[in-house]
């Protein structure tokens, strides 16, 4: 057993030795039974918070009103929650009223899905009144009780439902799916951040296509608070175009791919990601990739293909894009190109397979050949330029640095201080 399991065992045995019931519950049991890694362990107990606090010297009252105490044991934290029932979900998200109860089955009944409503004690016996173990074997997400009611109580459960089905590669029970369709408008009650967090887990998970296809079918997202300017068909089309999404390691590339397939410009994507409360870091990474796409597409359209000098002109424009948006974004765009079906590159003129691979390998080779990839690597600084030219720094300086960078990165100039200073003087109109 892991260090976490041993520490949790100590918490549970301490509670039972003090005359209370205590069990592992929820996600940890589900993941353990599935043979998936367990990232945290929640404990459910008949002890009320005051009793839990009295037993454990090191505890934090994280959510007393809801019965949750975080117990620190052997350097790990465990959420220990008193058996409770919930009622009166006026806002369709949080219960207005919780009541501590003495029967663990009552506590399991308030939980969202059968696979999340199993608990297990020190002896290893499962308490599973709603058939969670059977549903794990059937690989199905099923609400505890009446699905429509459960989604009406807490609308976030609808997205959790799709998220679990996607991440675990499960199906959704018929009644549960029907309940979701009936209650889908209630997603409007859920904070954008919560929706985005679930969506993130779908997109970052091992089977994003599964979740996206389900979201396309139920048209849930269009009912949320955040702008979602697509129909289920748009999303289904995008999901089909992004068949290779699961091969991308990074979450921001997955989002970039999806937004590309949803035909978003860099600017539209930027606004959307803001409205969806993505972190600034993620948003910028995604948008830079889409900017590279825009620069590259414009270059492909502007440069006459197959004409003398065409390839060289294209190479220079590609290098300009790499310098403007960064190597990481440029390589990110190439990894999207590599998994996009040919039809997604140009709907009008889908290129042949050989052209598709050249479309990725050629610009990748151009990046590899660049002698330097950013301003910080340039052998001359702005101050040195200003001094050599005897001028005050101003907007001209940035333009000159970019021109020198473009020239050295394209291989026209050596990245050497003397060479660059000479070129700067020439550009500035000085006598050589």
Q: Give contact residues for ligand ATP (rule: CB under 6 A).
A: 26-27, 42, 111-112, 116-117, 154, 156-157
Chain position whose Cβ is nearest to Mg ion: 27
> Shortest distance, CB of residue 199 to ligand ATP, whole angstroms?
14
| Beta carbon nearer to ligand ATP, 104 or 404 | 104
| Beta carbon nearer to ligand ATP, 117 or 400 | 117
Cβ–Cβ under 8 Å, residues 149 and 121: no
**Counting every residue, how long is the chain?**
432
> Shortest distance, CB of residue 19 to Mg ion, whole angstroms?
28
Query: For residue 116, which of 135, 103, 101 has the smallest C-alpha distance?
Result: 135
Tell me the C-alpha distance between 315 and 302, whole Å: 13
Q: Which does 173 bind (CB under 5 to 8 A by kind): ligand ATP, Mg ion, none?
A: none
| Beta carbon nearer to ligand ATP, 112 or 135 | 112
Instruction: Please tell me the number of Cα atoms within 13 Å of 163 on its side-chain side.
Output: 19
> Shortest distance, CB of residue 336 to Mg ion, whole angstroms?
32
Out of 5, 10, 16, 27, name the contact with Mg ion by CB under 5 A. 27
> Shortest distance, CB of residue 27 to Mg ion, whole angstroms?
4
| Beta carbon nearer to ligand ATP, 202 or 322 | 202
Please give the structure tokens belonging to residue 231.
């129909």
Is residue 415 classed as helix, strand or coil in its secondary structure? Answer: coil
The DSSP letter of residue 90 is: T
| Beta carbon nearer to ligand ATP, 157 or 186 | 157
Tell me the C-alpha distance between 133 and 140, whole Å: 10
382 binds Mg ion (CB under 5 A): no
Q: Write the burial class of residue 60 (CB in 10 Å: 0-12 exposed, 13-18 middle, 19+ buried).
A: middle
> Shortest distance, CB of residue 393 to ligand ATP, whole angstroms?
52
| Beta carbon nearer to ligand ATP, 154 or 270 | 154
Tell me the C-alpha distance between 11 and 24, whole Å: 10
Could you tell me which stretch among 27-35, 154-162, 168-176, 326-334 binds Mg ion (CB under 5 A)?
27-35
Phi, psi of 337 (to 5 degrees): -55, -40
Number of residues that bind Mg ion (CB under 5 A): 1
| Beta carbon nearer to ligand ATP, 159 or 272 | 159
Phi, psi of 92 (to 5 degrees): 60, 30
77 binds Mg ion (CB under 5 A): no
Q: Which does 154 bind (CB under 5 to 8 A by kind): Mg ion, ligand ATP, none?
A: ligand ATP
Rg over CA atoms, the chain: 29
> Shortest distance, CB of residue 107 to ligand ATP, whole angstroms?
9
Tell me the C-alpha distance between 179 and 53, whole Å: 40
Using DSSP bridges, classify how beta strands 22-25 and 59-63 pair: parallel, antiparallel or unpaired. Answer: unpaired
Could you tell me which stretch among 21-29, 97-105, 267-275, 358-366 binds Mg ion (CB under 5 A)?
21-29
Cβ–Cβ under 8 Å, residues 321 and 292: yes
Instruction: Please tell me the number of Cα atoms within 13 Å of 37 on its side-chain side.
Output: 1
| Beta carbon nearer to ligand ATP, 107 or 270 | 107
Chain position whose Cβ is nearest to ligand ATP: 27
Residue ranges that bind Mg ion, judged by CB under 5 A: 27
């Amino acid at each position: 057993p892991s260090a976490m399991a041993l520490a949790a065992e100590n918490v549970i045995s301490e509670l039972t030795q003090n005359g209370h019931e205590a069990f592992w519950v929820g996600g940890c049991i589900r993941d353990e039974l599935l043979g998936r890694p367990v990232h945290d362990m929640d404990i459910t107990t008949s002890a009320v918070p005051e009793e839990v606090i009295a037993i454990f010297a090191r505890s934090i009252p994280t959510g007393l009103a809801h019965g949750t105490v975080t117990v620190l044991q052997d350097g790990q934290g465990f959420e220990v929650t008193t058996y409770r029932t919930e009622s009166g979900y006026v806002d369709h998200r949080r219960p207005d009223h919780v009541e501590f109860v003495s029967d663990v089955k009552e506590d399991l009944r308030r939980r969202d899905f059968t696979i999340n409503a199993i608990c297990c004690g020190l002896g290893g016996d499962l308490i599973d009144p709603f058939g969670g173990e059977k549903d794990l074997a059937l690989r199905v997400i099923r609400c505890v009780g009446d699905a429509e009611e459960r989604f009406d109580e807490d609308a976030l459960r609808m997205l959790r439902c799709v998220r679990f089905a996607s991440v675990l590669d499960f199906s959704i029970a018929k009644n549960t799916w029907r309940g979701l369709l009936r209650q889908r408008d209630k997603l409007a009650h859920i904070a954008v951040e919560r929706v985005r967090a679930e969506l993130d887990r779908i997109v970052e998970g091992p089977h994003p296509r599964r979740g996206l296809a389900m979201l396309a079918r139920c048209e849930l997202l269009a009912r949320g608070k955040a702008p979602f300017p697509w129909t289920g068909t748009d999303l289904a089309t995008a999901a089909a175009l992004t068949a290779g999404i699961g091969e991308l390691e990074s979450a921001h590339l997955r989002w970039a791919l999806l937004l590309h397939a949803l035909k978003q410009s860099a600017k539209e994507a930027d606004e959307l990601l803001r409205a969806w409360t993505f972190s600034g870091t993620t948003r910028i990474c995604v948008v830079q990739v889409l900017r590279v796409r825009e620069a590259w597409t414009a270059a492909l359209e502007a440069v006459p293909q197959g004409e003398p000098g065409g390839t060289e002109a294209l190479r220079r424009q590609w290098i300009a894009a790499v310098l403007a948006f960064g190597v990481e974004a440029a390589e990110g765009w190439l990894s999207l190109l590599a998994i996009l079906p040919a039809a997604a590159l140009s709907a009008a003129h889908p290129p042949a397979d050989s052209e598709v691979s050249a479309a990725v390998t050629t610009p990748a080779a151009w990046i590899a050949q660049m002698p330097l990839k950013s301003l910080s690597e340039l052998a001359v600084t702005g101050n040195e330029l200003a001094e050599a030219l005897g001028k005050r720094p101003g907007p001209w300086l940035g333009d000159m640095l970019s021109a020198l960078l473009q020239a050295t990165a394209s291989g026209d100039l050596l990245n050497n201080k003397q060479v660059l200073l000479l070129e700067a003087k020439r550009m500035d109109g000085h006598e050589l």
